[in-house]
Amino acid sequence: MEEADKMTEIESTKQKRRILFDQPVKMVLLFFHFMGFSGWFGCVVTGSEVWILFSIMTTLSGVLLAIRELYKDGFIWLAVTEGSLTLLKAALLAMAAVLKGYEVSLFTVVMLCGLLSSHLPKEIRERRLF
């Protein structure tokens, strides 16, 4: 499949499904996601007890953000760079829960993946990987 076809496929799904008040909803979810992850990561780095509120806030807002993307783009979102990075972040967070002692390193990679998925140019973020 040519590159232009891949981009057309992703763009065409965006035009099909719209969410009422999409940008304000996204901003609110991102705010809670950022606050939750910041608190969670801060507790992990300082060796403090992690407040359950941080992990719940991060998980719930992350799931809602992923559902939002899946609704807008369909399951093709999982095959593009942004969706693949999101799946990687979820896997790393699950690994951090199991691999005690590696949480700081895994959370740092999660943060890097989050920065990449939100700040890469649109052409790269929406590029189909497989």
Task: Encode pLDDT of 58-95 as tens digits.
Answer: 999 999 999 999 999 899 999 999 999 999 999 999 99
How does residue 13 score in pLDDT terms, banded at 50, 70 and 90?
very low
Residue whose pair of structure tokens reads 């829960």 in the numeric block: 97
Domain region containing 73: 3-125
Q: What is the per-residue pLDDT for 5?
A: 52
Indicate whether 12 belongs to any domain.
yes
Asked if pLDDT for residue 22 goes beyond 60, the answer is yes
Q: Which range is least confidently modeled, 18-22, 37-41, 44-48?
A: 18-22
Indicate whether 23 belongs to any domain.
yes
Inter-CA distances, 130 with 25, 70, 80, 81, 109, Å: 29, 17, 8, 9, 22
| Average pLDDT score over residue span 19-38 | 94
Indicate whether 57 belongs to any domain.
yes
Percent of the chain with pLDDT over 70: 88
Indicate whether 79 belongs to any domain.
yes
Indicate whether 67 belongs to any domain.
yes
Asked if pLDDT for residue 48 goes beyond 60, the answer is yes
Indicate whether 106 belongs to any domain.
yes
Number of compact structural domains in the chain: 1
Q: What is the per-residue pLDDT for 12?
A: 47
Indicate whether 130 belongs to any domain.
no
| Average pLDDT score over residue span 46-69 | 95
| Average pLDDT score over residue span 4-18 | 57
Inter-CA distances, 42 with 35, 74, 95, Å: 10, 34, 18
Indicate whether 121 belongs to any domain.
yes
